[in-house]
A and B are shown apart, each in its own frame.
Chain A
Amino acid sequence: MRTITVDEAMTEALAEEMRRDASVIAFGEGVATKNYKLVEEFGAKRVRNTPLAEGIIAGTAAGAAATGLRPVIDLLFAPFLTFAMDELVNSAGKLRYLSGGQFAFPLVAITRTGGGWGVGAQHNHNVESWFVNTPGVKVVMPSTAADFKGLLKSAIRDDNPVMFFTDIGLIYTPGEVPETDDHVIPIGKAAVRREGSDVSLISYAKTVHTCVAAAEALAEHGVSAEVIDLRSLKPLDEETILASVRKTGRAIVVHEAAAPCGVGAEISAILAEKAFGALKAPVVRLTGPDAPAAASFPLEAAFAPQADAIVSAALRIARNDA
């Protein structure tokens, strides 16, 4: 299979879906500038630049989605979502419900976050859990180029607003990606990246790769680690998470976002509620600190949980057979 980057995989997904469905349009900050080939193929009406104004970009997407289009918008960096919260949360997320189901909001909001570019906390802030706490929207955050393509295609075809979080650290990461038009990854389905029997490492985005590295190191210590890539944060694939932890009896949730009320907190609670009897050790959360992300490269790189921390946590709980 050919190898392309995450960025190329996303552009390919967008182009395929625009070819497939004339109601798909793309706009946002620099969308036409960056995707001049899409402008050539689909015309300036379907691929547009916008002012640097996230509120009206998101609001326009919501209004267009409710009246027949399928907008894909680029809001650049996740902290900029604060300017679009009314439109994404109060309009796209709630007006279907508040109208008694009269409208649907099939839109995709692409945004970037995470360490990798040294851009600091006003461009790098993992706010994905805000949207997990938002009714009416779905949230995805893939880790591989193939999933970026397959999940973006699913998100565009979905009849609901989908928050598409792109980990900055993965944008130029290459990976094998199917060229076929039907490569679609369902929203709400996790992937088992590595099978194991002693501990479940549950993660999403760039830290999935950290977990895979940790699992390889753990194997040398005689500990068999299973790695779960959530891919979708809302809806969450509880079935895959529970099946894994019921098998291993131990869970470490790993993400770059801070711990308080984050995805790790949710998964810990689900495990306590539904797999308590299977747990051989307390659930561990390894997360970024509850602090703004620094621009300084060493500090930024250290912000996300590291493989050695996962290894020591796993070794600690693997010895606990209570």
Chain B
Amino acid sequence: MTIMETAVDRSVATALETMLLIRTFEEKSAERQAAGKSGSVCTSVGQEAAAVGVVSVLQKNDLILTNHRSAGHLLARGADPGRLFAEIAGKATGYCKGKSGSLHISVKELGVVLTSTIVGGELSLAPGVGLSLSMQDTDAIAVVFFGDGAATEGIFHEALNLAAVWNLPVLFVCENNQWQAFVHRKETMLADHVSDWARPYGMPAVTVDGNDVEAVHAAARLAADYVRTTRKPYFLEAYTYRTRGHMEPDTQAYVDPEELASWKRRDPIALLESRFAPEELAEIRARVTETIESAAAFADASPYPSFAEMTTDVYA
């Protein structure tokens, strides 16, 4: 991995810029919610390395399923932040015509095929996407992002079992962010690592430091290659932390300040930034700020859908 050891390596710079784009997007989303410009959002602040590390190894023809905390996956996949802000604000120019809002954004043209906001819903759909791919002559794989909260649901076990029994090309990515809405993971599960639950179903299962984008990238590369070549499932757990609340606004009064501070010291962006020259960093930050500001302006200038849209797209 010598290529990763150079601080100024282009792929690391790209990873940092994407992570900063996600962070800035999420903070702007929270700000827009507070300003009454859009509804509530579930941000992925603190988890940027997991999204960027995994999505960066995927091919164009791979299919992604995600959940309510999806901005990182979407932006890492190349989604336009303007259309995302528009969607969150319920505007007609959003990826889902404003009908999704923040919670179920899918972008078919980017291969983000199904997003379910009901924790576990994304897992229930993933084997089916894998099944479609397994019936085609393709090297594409399905990647499903979910959290530790979903892992405590029955459907998690049903999905892993079926994917293993049917040899489906599904990469399960658990972002273990320690929080299940307003409840700490330690209150709901005895295991520390969800990967320990996955292995007995008959698939390789690995836990990686989810705040180290290079480690996630390397682990995801092995994982995706395994699924692509064997056409069998693989389980990757990114061990990370949700440093903002469950949804906006959230005072996080229920969070242990020491735990939060210890994870913030391992902030995935700060870990990487220390390796960049200040001028280079300033340049990247300026570019990201410009992108986010113009994206927000696009959303603000966009129209709401017409009332006729209330009953379109119900049936095919």
Binding site for B on A (CB under 8 A): 25, 45, 48, 50-51, 53, 55-56, 58-69, 71, 86-87, 90-91, 95-106, 135-136, 138, 159-160
Question: Roughly how many angstroms separate A50 CA and B161 CA in the complex, as a whole number?
Answer: 10
Question: Roughly how many angstroms separate A86 CA and B123 CA in the complex, as a whole number?
Answer: 12
Interface assignment of B47: CB less than 8 Å from any CB of chain A: no
List the A residue with the shortest CB-CB distance to B97.
Answer: A100
List the A residue with the shortest CB-CB distance to B153.
Answer: A55
Interface assignment of B15: CB less than 8 Å from any CB of chain A: no
Q: Chain B interface: which size bin? A: 35 or more
Tell me whether A101 and B312 are in contact (CB under 8 A): yes
Tell me whether A60 and B96 are in contact (CB under 8 A): no
29 contacts between A and B (CB under 8 A): A45-B135, A48-B166, A51-B161, A53-B162, A55-B158, A56-B127, A56-B155, A58-B124, A59-B158, A62-B128, A63-B125, A63-B127, A64-B128, A67-B63, A69-B135, A91-B116, A91-B125, A95-B115, A98-B104, A99-B100, A99-B104, A99-B115, A100-B95, A100-B98, A100-B99, A100-B100, A101-B312, A102-B96, A102-B106
Question: Roughly how many angstroms separate A159 CA and B134 CA in the complex, as a whole number?
Answer: 22
Tell me whether A51 and B129 are in contact (CB under 8 A): no
Tell me whether B113 and A101 are in contact (CB under 8 A): no
Interface assignment of B137: CB less than 8 Å from any CB of chain A: no
Interface assignment of B279: CB less than 8 Å from any CB of chain A: no
Question: Roughly how many angstroms separate A86 CA and B100 CA in the complex, as a whole number?
Answer: 17
Q: CB < 8 Å: which of A55, A61, A160 contacts B315? A: A160
Q: CB < 8 Å: which of B100, B107, B162, B316 contacts A98? A: B100
Lowest 8 CB-CB distances: which A-B pairs, in order?
A: A63-B128, A59-B124, A100-B97, A101-B313, A56-B158, A63-B125, A159-B316, A100-B96
List the B residue with the shortest CB-CB distance to A137.
Answer: B315
Which of A50, A59, A86, A91 is most buried by chain B, counting CB atoms within 10 A of its CB? A59
Tell me whether B132 and A64 are in contact (CB under 8 A): yes
Question: Roughly how many angstroms separate A105 CA and B135 CA in the complex, as a whole number?
Answer: 17
Interface assignment of B22: CB less than 8 Å from any CB of chain A: no
Tell me whether A102 and B104 are in contact (CB under 8 A): no
Write out, one digit per residue, whether chain B residues 155-183 have a CB within 8 A of any chain A CB (1) or not (0). Answer: 10011011001100000000000000000
Tell me whether B129 and A66 are in contact (CB under 8 A): yes
Which residues of chain B from 62 to 110 have any CB-CB distance to chain A below 8 Å in the complex? 63, 65, 94-100, 104, 106-108
User: Chain B nearest CB: distance from A309 CB in Å?
Assistant: 37
